[in-house]
Chains A and B, each alone.
Chain A
Amino acid sequence: MANEVCFRTLHLPNPGSLETYRSIGGYETLKRIVTEKVKATEIINQVKISGLRGRGGAGFPTGLKWSFMPRYYDGTKYLVCNTDEGEPGTFKDRDIIRYNPHQLIEGMAIAAYTLGARVGYNYIHGEIWEDYVFFERALDEARAAGFLGENLFGTNFSFDLYAHHGYGAYICGEETALIESIEGKKGQPRFKPPFPASFGVYGKPTNVNNTESYASIPFILQHGGQAFQDLGVANSGGTKIFAVSGHVEKPGNYEVNMGIPFPELLSLAGGIWKGRQLKAVIPGGPSTAVMPAASIMGATMDYDGLSKAGSSLGAGSVIIMDDSTCMVQTLKRLSYFFFEESCGQCTPCREGTGWLYRVVKRIVDGEGRMEDLDLLTDVSSNISGRTICALGDAAATPVLSFIKHFRPEFEYYIQHGRSMVTGK
């Protein structure tokens, strides 16, 4: 079965409309929780049981994160949704806001009720303008229908939700940079701790989750945490949207159960295009390690499955590469991305990402030296774990994993000044 949670309106006409969402029982869960005054601890407990882990990339258990929000706090608490997906190959959240925005809104409203947040923001990537506009309309609908605003369902629960668009900086997806950006400042990560739960938007307690995480909440509270967990496997409850891109016949978003064997996912996406062979896969977005065909073909798509196979689930952005792919040139593209997107705040990332990119580029330009490979490995390790935010690690991971798995291709490129695969 596919499309059971976040995309559950997708098969219906006009899937993103309020009408359609209500036709499948949308907002009923919110109404029940609010009017029956379901206890916050009970909700958090269900989320814990569901096994939902943050879909933004880090995979932090959502129920546990919610329990960090201070319960009693004199002042405004904030709720933030992270729809800033900007990593290459990542395009799942935009489909949630354009095909099922109301489920996200309901999920956020439930979270706001649970965490005592009065105000929420959905921070939407600046390069998906039409979807931002569409989401704004969904917000208007929800307000008009009495699902957002003051004293919802005649209770004293009030929640205002606003859309906020960025300008396309990848770093603004990092939760504290995102918060700075919401505050109108330059998007630049803050040093943690303090975490957003104690010092977030305007210094107030703030909960940040990914779009897919929030959008899973109505299902969990409608059907119970266990039902969600049962869709998936141990340590990875529920479904996951995999954004499959690259050399497949049918690239796109696939919401499937956690733990699906990779070959099944691949065939859902129509298999490798043009009858070619699979060479490698980046299973969770460029910040996760690349996997050679052999290891990914035996892996299941869930947190433990991928980590056992030597990579990680990340945001579920599956980039498929066929046997015509030059790994050296691919790495150059990825390194350029991190070099370009580093915020420049901390030394290892600011200086290191440029260094990595320039060396890889030099190799691609035919000027490589054999010792460059050790240098690249060393510089990457020197960035890893020494930066303010995880972009540093993200930049190091492709370099380390590409060289680890495809070293001969790099050596060939250095020796011959051209690609072993393309010959160019």
Chain B
Amino acid sequence: MLKIEIDGQAVEVEHGSTIIDAADKIGVAIPRFCYHKKLSVAANCRMCLVQVEKFNKPLPACATPVSEGMKIFTRSKSAIEAQKSVMEFLLINHPLDCPICDQGGECELQDIAVGYGSVKSRYTEEKRVVLNKNIGPLVSTDMTRCIQCTRCVRFLKEIGGMMELGLVGRGEHAEITAYVDKSVESELSGNIIDLCPVGALTSKPFRYSARSWELTRRPSIAAHDALGSQIEVQVKNNRVMRVLPREKESINECWISDRDRFSYEGLNSTERLTVPMIKQNGEWKEADWKSALEYVANRLKVVAEKDGNDIGFLVAPTSTMEEGYLTKKLARGLKSGNVDHRLRRGDFRLDGHFQGTPWMGCNIPDLQEMDRVLVIGSNLRNEHPLLAHRLRHAVKMNAAEVSIVSSLDDDPLMPVAFKEICSPDGMINELLQILKAMSSLQRLSLCLPPSLNKLLEGIEVSANADAIAHSLAGLGKDYDLVSPRSGVFLGNMAQHHPRYSELYSLAEAIASLCGATFGVFSESANRVGLDLARALPSAGALNARTMLEQPRKAYMLVNVEPEFDCRNGKQAADAMAQADFVVALTPFKSFALNDADVMLPVAPFTETSGTFMSMEGRVQSFAAAVKPLGECRPGWKVLRVLGNLLGLEGFDFDSSEAVKNEIFGGEKPSKVVWNKLNNNLRHLVEVDVKATSTALRRIGEIPLYQSDAIVRRSLPLQKAGQSSVGMAAMNSALMQKLGLQEGDLVRVKQDAEAVKLPVRLDDRVYDNCVRVPVCAETARLGDLYGEISVEKAS
């Protein structure tokens, strides 16, 4: 520790701290623009100049390391003079029209100018004007306001992983710009809006719609991935105007993904369902709540009286724990075991084998401390944008080695140590190879069950698999790590994999052989929470897949749009069409619900209280940020009333907390969670070494902005670069084999369903696979990973 003095106040700080760190520590405010604690130091704005004893010129506090005994003066005559002069320089070319600037009221320049600026400008020359740039549908630019602090540049390069903005030109011509004719494509781009200290970068969707002081701020939890990012929902006139991150170092630091930032536009969509609707003679009719609920109760009762298992309950994994729990309770009350939220899962062979609720296996910040990581089946940047950043950080700052096994070679924007891109079946073989390499490496083969050892006998280990095993074990080209912090993780695409159980078993075995952390980057906001709330089939009952394969007489859908959210859109749509009765609890009217009989308007996460549990097992409850739109009601209340109407026991909850209380048996959630999270298997499932197929295989990726119903309705996100249009993407080898060319129209067929799609050349896709992402055009195709045929459309 170093002892120093700031403005006469003694303070002890760590070696390597800068003056600004030290001042922040004791709450001495030093004005700043370019400095940001999460970014590299640029020291270019010069606003933080302070006086330091023994130095004849002021030093930038953000870039000057402290030394023992240093005496710093932040408010001395020379410091203030320096700060005021920099402020004057910043303002000479800055427009002084704050009342028409969108940043007004939350502008760092404006705030600091109040303290350091002069009332009168001495600058009488012509002011600089800088052309605005179009950098996409999310971030709006007003470049004349830019003060060249380069926070945006550094963010995209250092956190986003790609330098999409730069400062080009010299002197006064220095301006921030994107690549020629390119917009900023980072899935984290919205953060530059928060970072920009002035009104140069603002939110395009929010722009000019409200002043910051008119907004009420409500804390909430982000609902589109399983990170549990803490957000602030800003509200005016009972409408969500924008969403910003709340700072939470151990989860989202001070960032959020664009998906979490701009999804709110979907909440204000014209497709919102605001009154209960009942279909009569094929026509949707508005109804009052009472008759709608009674109607639903009666219809369900009729089916349940014969056999409760004729009803299937499908819960979207974005639903709250309370909604999931009450749905399950309702199902059990009606004697149905068919409840599931794992709608995109294809392989359920592990059910019954888990020792607890599968989770991430560690905490989020642990990721960036890891030395060696293997990510299996994950399109990281789409699935968990901020986890990709944590891993990027590990690679950059700790020289971590990240290896990848996947069928898609999408760039995670970080150096990848080893990667194995293979067919979906090939992934199983790859894991077998890694396991074999690992077991010979560790001479630990005895630890594997004999059956598995036998399986490995015939496996040939490739150089790459061997390298991955070495990496995970901490053995390197240049040096070995004595006890590496390693991790093996399964992503969303692994969870959707038709042989997920085998992937899981092998990954677990690999991890346990090398002592690595093993976990699942689980999908959607609440997949782990709904597992813990047991929104799962009871023993022997039907799961999300079999409920559709063996069509039921009735279905209850909670926040589900069947053909978008289920693994097999075609099957889901058909199942709904044939059912006698389908009730959907939904915030949206949707063409995907045309086959329903009743639609009950339930509140999305901003309009209801509830609880999500993140992939790291963090239980986070939130209150409604706004009142439900129209006649919408919180889902838990709707389910409670249905329980009452059906005369079921135990539905007398008077708040969502009461439901939560019951889920956790009256205990503190953390206490329960601790016991329940467990990735271990009781038994390994059987691994089929030989299974391979020569058929064309679909890779049914879920695009970044197709993840759930709210995101799908956010127009700005749909306009963004990563949004998805229907396409059949394949590598050049396959294109050649099929005699196709980029842009050709093809008939893409799965089962009995066919759609016409344009062909895209995409060499990131593995041989003999066709990337057909889920979107409006393709929603009615079949299994995400099913066989597919592609032929030129005439």
B667 CB → nearest A CB, Å = 53
Q: How many whole Å from B238's CB to the nearest CB in chain A?
A: 43
A382 in contact with B148 (CB, 8 Å): no
Contacts A350-B148, A386-B85: A345 and B57 contacting too (C-beta < 8 A)?
no
Residues of chain B lying within 8 A (CB to CB) of residue A345? 42, 44, 148, 167, 174
B167 touches A344 (CB 8 A): yes
Are B46's CB and A348's CB within 8 A? yes
Contact in complex: A339, B63 (CB < 8 Å):
no
Contacts of B472 in A (CB 8 A): none
Check if A51 is an interface residue, CB within 8 A of chain B.
no
Query: Can you list, as one digit per residue, whether each of B714-743 has a CB less than 8 Å from chain A (1) or not (0)?
Result: 000000000000000000000000000000
A385 engages B57 (CB within 8 Å): yes
Complex: how many Å from CA A359 to CA B49? 26
Residues of A within 8 A of B82 (CB): 386
**In the complex the two chains form, what is the Cα distance from A341 to B171 in whole Å?**
7
B170 close to A355 (CB less than 8 A): no
- Tell me the bound Cα distance from A191 to B168 in angstroms: 19
Beyond A346-B46, A354-B171, is A382–B126 a contact (Cβ under 8 Å)? no
**Does A382 lie within 8 Å of B89, measured CB to CB?**
yes
CA distance A375 to B88 in the complex (A): 13
A171 located at the interface, meaning its Cβ lies under 8 Å from any Cβ of chain B in the complex = yes
| Contact (Cβ within 8 A) B43 A344 | no
Contact status A344-B173, CB under 8 Å? yes
Q: Is A346 a contact partner of B170 (Cβ separation < 8 A)?
A: no
**Is B92 on the interface with A (CB-CB < 8 A)?**
yes
Residues of B within 8 A of A386 (CB): 46, 49, 57-58, 82, 85-86
Contact in complex: B60, A191 (CB < 8 Å): yes
A347 touches B47 (CB 8 A): yes
User: In the complex, what's the smallest C-beta–C-beta distance from A148 to chain B, in angstroms?
Assistant: 30
If over half of A's interface residues share one DSSP class (helix, strand or loop), that class is named, otherwise mixed; here it is helix
Chain A residues near B42 (CB-CB < 8 A): 191, 345
The answer for the CA separation of A169 and B42 in the assembled complex, in Å, is 21
Measured between alpha carbons, how far is A348 from B58 in the docked complex, in Å? Answer: 13
Nearest-neighbour CB distance to chain B for A385, whole angstroms, equals: 4
| B122 contacts the other chain (CB 8 A) | yes
Cβ contact of A347, chosen from B147, B169, B173, cutoff 8 A: B147
Contacts A385-B58, A388-B44 known; A351 to B167 CB distance under 8 Å? no
Contact A347 B90 (CB under 8 A): yes
Query: Any chain A CB within 8 A of the CB of B172?
Result: yes
For window 334-381 of A, CB contacts with B under 8 Å fall at: 339-348, 350-355, 358-359, 362, 375
Q: Is the CB of A348 within 8 A of B86?
A: yes
Q: How large is the interface on B (under 10, 10 to 19, 20 to 34, 35 or more residues)?
A: 35 or more
Determine if A347 and B86 form an interchain contact, defined as CB atoms under 8 angstroms apart: yes
Name which of A355, A387, A388 has the most chain B CB atoms within 10 A of its CB: A355
Given A351-B92, A386-B49, A386-B58, answer yes or no on A344-B174 (Cβ-Cβ < 8 Å).
Answer: yes
- Assess whether B174 is in contact with A348, with CB atoms less than 8 Å apart: no
Scoring A residues 33 to 66 as 1 if CB is less than 8 Å from chain B, else 0, what string do you get?
0000000000000000000000000000000000
A359 to B171, CA, bound (A): 17
B90-A351 in contact (CB<8A)? yes
Decide yes or no whether B181 CB sits under 8 A from chain A: no
Q: Which residues 492-545 in B have Cβ within 8 Å of A in the complex? A: none
- How long is the Cα–Cα vector from A386 to B90 in the complex, in angstroms? 13
State in angstroms the CA–CA spacing of A355 and B124 once bound together. Answer: 9
A347 CB contacts on chain B under 8 angstroms: 44-47, 86, 89-90, 147-148
CB-defined contacts of A341 to chain B, threshold 8 Å: 170-171
Could you tell me if A340 and B43 are in contact, using CB atoms closer than 8 angstroms? no
Q: Are A353 and B171 neighbours in the complex by a CB distance under 8 Å? A: yes
Q: Are A350 and B88 in contact (CB under 8 A)?
A: no
Given contacts A343-B174, A344-B173, contact A351 B89 (CB under 8 A): yes
A193, B227: Cα distance in complex, Å: 39
Given known pairs A347-B44, A347-B46, A388-B44, the reply for A342 and B170 (CB within 8 Å) is yes
Flag if A382 contacts B49 (CB, 8 Å). Answer: no
Cβ contact within 8 Å between B171 and A350: yes
Contact with B along A310-354 (1 / 0, CB 8 A): 000000000000000000000000000001111111111011111
B134 within 8 A of A: no
Distance of B342 from chain A, by nearest CB (Å): 48
Q: Is B654 an interface residue (CB 8 A)?
A: no
> Is B216 an interface residue when CB atoms closer than 8 A count as contact?
no
Q: Which residues of B contact A339 (CB under 8 A)?
A: 171-172
CB-CB contacts of B154-184 with A at 8 A, as 1s and 0s? 0000000000001111111110000000000
Bound-state Cα–Cα, A343 to B169, Å: 8
Interfacial chain A residues near B89, Cβ < 8 Å: 347-348, 350-352, 355, 382
Q: How far is the CB of B152 from chain A (nearest CB, A)?
A: 15
A-contact 0/1 string along B119-158, CB 8 Å cutoff: 0001101101000000000000000000110000000000
**Chain A residues within 8 Å of B43, by CB:** 191, 346, 388
- Name the residue among A343, A345, A385 with the largest chain B CB count within 10 angstroms: A345
Tell me the A183-198 residues at the B interface (CB within 8 Å): 186, 191, 193
Partner of A354, one of B46, B88, B172: B172
* Inter-chain contacts of B169 with A (CB < 8 A): 344
Instruction: Say whether B171 contacts A191, CB under 8 Å.
Output: no
Of B45, B63, B170, which contacts A344 at CB under 8 A?
B170
CA distance A382 to B87 in the complex (A): 11
Closest chain B residue to A343, Cβ basis = B170
Shortest CB-to-CB span from A339 to chain B, Å, is 6
- Distance from B495 Cβ to chain A, minimum over Cβ atoms (Å): 41
Q: How far is the CB of B157 from chain A (nearest CB, A)?
A: 12
- In the complex, whether B93 has a CB less than 8 A from a CB of chain A is yes
Q: CA separation between A362 and B126, bound complex, in Å?
A: 11
Give bound CA distance, A321 to B417, whole Å. 63
Is B210 in the interface zone, CB < 8 Å from A?
A: no
CA distance A221 to B331 in the complex (A): 94
Chain B residues with CB below 8 A from A353, complex form:
171-172
- Chain A residues near B10 (CB, 8 Å)? none
| Neighbouring B residues of A352 by C-beta, 8 Å | 89
Min Cβ gap B58→A in Å is 6
**Distance in Å from the Cβ of B90 to the closest Cβ of chain A?**
6
Q: Is B41 an interface residue (CB 8 A)?
A: yes
What chain B residues lie within 8 Å of A355 (beta carbons)?
Answer: 89, 92, 123, 125
- The listed residue (B85, B166, B170, B173) touching A382 by CB distance below 8 A is B85
Chain A residues with Cβ under 8 A from B86's Cβ? 347-348, 386
* B600-624 to A contact mask, C-beta < 8 Å, 1/0: 0000000000000000000000000
Please name all residues of chain B whose beta carbon is closer than 8 Å to the beta carbon of A358 when the two chains form the complex.
125-126
Most chain A beta carbons < 10 A, residue from B86, B126, B166, B170: B170
* A344 with B171: CB separation less than 8 A: yes
Interface string of A53-92 (1 = CB under 8 A from B): 0000000000000000000000000000000000000000
Note all chain A residues with C-beta closer than 8 A to B44. Answer: 345-347, 388
User: A348 to B91, alpha carbons, bound, how many Å?
Assistant: 11
B444 to chain A, nearest CB (A): 35
- A122–B390 Cα distance when bound, in Å, is 40
Q: How far is the CA of A131 from the CA of B618 in the complex (A)?
A: 67
Write the chain A residue with the least CB distance to B94: A351
Contact string, A153-184, partner B, CB cutoff 8 A, digits 1/0? 00000000000000001010000000000000
Against B, the Cβ 8 Å flags (1 = close, 0 = not) of A207-238 are 00000000000000000000000000000000
**Among residues 12 to 50 in chain B, which have CB atoms less than 8 Å away from a CB atom of chain A?**
41-47, 49
* Bound CA–CA A347/B198 (angstroms): 15
What are the 7 closest A-B residue pairs judged by CB atoms, nearest first?
A344-B174, A385-B57, A382-B85, A342-B171, A351-B89, A358-B125, A191-B43
Task: Give 29 CB contacts A-B under 8 Å.
Answer: A169-B170, A191-B41, A191-B43, A339-B172, A341-B171, A342-B170, A344-B170, A344-B174, A345-B42, A345-B167, A347-B45, A347-B47, A347-B86, A347-B148, A348-B46, A350-B148, A350-B174, A351-B92, A351-B172, A352-B89, A354-B125, A354-B128, A354-B171, A354-B172, A355-B92, A382-B88, A386-B49, A386-B58, A387-B46
**9 additional contacts, CB 8 Å, given A340-B170, A343-B174, A386-B85?**
A339-B171, A342-B171, A347-B46, A350-B148, A350-B172, A354-B93, A354-B171, A386-B49, A386-B57
